Structure 1
Amino acid sequence: MDDASAEPLLERVRQRGGYAARDEAARAVRGVLEVLGAHLVGDDRTDLARLLPRQCGPFLVDAPPASEPLTPAGFIDAVAARDDVAVRDARRAVTAVLATVAEVADDALLRRILTQLPPGHAGLFGRTDPV
């Protein structure tokens, strides 16, 4: 993510996740958005992609569809496996990125996204169920 339009998003993720470097935040954004994109369908993922910096859109919309829904713990495990990191590092990435996404999305879009995910994911977005 080299475009300056991504800087505010990366900086929020960097601060929220406690990352020392911008490239760490960029890796977190990519990994989490690819896993999220695999679990969203239709307009919800394209609507979210339009709200994020243009470089983030392909992470969401080009992700191959997931074969089955993931629990919140499964979501974190999927990010850990995708990025070959420890579960605690994946949890940090997931909460930093999804809380930042929740700031970008309006409540209606966030509600639609959460209805596509199994119960319990709101906490990963820094919200309580229901939105």
Structure 2
Amino acid sequence: MNSPLEALLDQVQERGRYALRQEAAHAVQIVLDVLGAHLVGDDRSDLARLLPRQCGPLLTEGEPASEPLTPRGFIEAVAVREGVEFAEARRAVTAVLGIVAETADDALLRRILTQLPPGHAGLFGRMDPA
């Protein structure tokens, strides 16, 4: 039986079409680190509690971002940290954030999206609220 972390990595590996679990783990690490820098307060810690325990520090222990990122800027930040092209970073972002959206309840996801500039819902596989 898989641990919660192994199950998460399997989901990311499948959704992101990664050949290796290590690639999925790297995507999770970078994307959650960038996301955590843009969330504050209870939303960040509430999300951390829903994910495997090893993911919590990625969300909660990083330095806060100095300015908000557009959705494109979010992907570019992942690309820079991961050392990959934009399309590869987008694949990582949508794989990881899509699973985050499935893990969080609708209320938490709305609170998270409220902290991010408009347009981020698409990165989570959701429509922007009207």
Q: Scaled by the length of structure 2, what TM-score is found? A: 0.97
Q: What is the match of residue 25 of structure 1?
A: 24
Tell me the secondary structure at the aligned position of residue 55 of structure 1.
helix
Q: What displacement does 1:8 show?
A: 1.1
Q: What is the match of residue 48 of structure 1?
A: 47
Within 2, Cα distance between the matches of 1:61 and 1:110? Answer: 17
CA shift digits 1:102-130 (9 cap, x unpaired): 00000000000000000000000000011
The residue type paired with residue 69 of structure 2 is L
Q: What is the match of residue 83 of structure 1?
A: 82
CA shift digits 1:11-44 (9 cap, x unpaired): 1111100001110000000000000000000000
Unaligned runs of 5+ in 2: none
Q: Percent identity among equivalent residues?
A: 72
Q: What is the match of residue 111 of structure 1?
A: 110
Q: What is the match of residue 11 of structure 2?
A: 12
Greater shift, 51-60 or 80-89, is seen at 80-89
The residue type paired with residue 12 of structure 1 is Q
CA RMSD of aligned residues (A): 1.2
Q: Which 4+ residue blocks in structure 1 deviate beyond 4 angstroms?
A: none
Within 2, Cα distance between the matches of 1:63 and 1:77? Answer: 18
Q: What is the match of residue 92 of structure 2?
A: 93
Within 1, Cα distance between the matches of 2:46 and 2:29? Answer: 17
1:74 paired to 2:62? no
Q: What is the match of residue 58 of structure 1?
A: 57
Q: What displacement does 1:84 show?
A: 1.0
Report the number of matched residues. 129
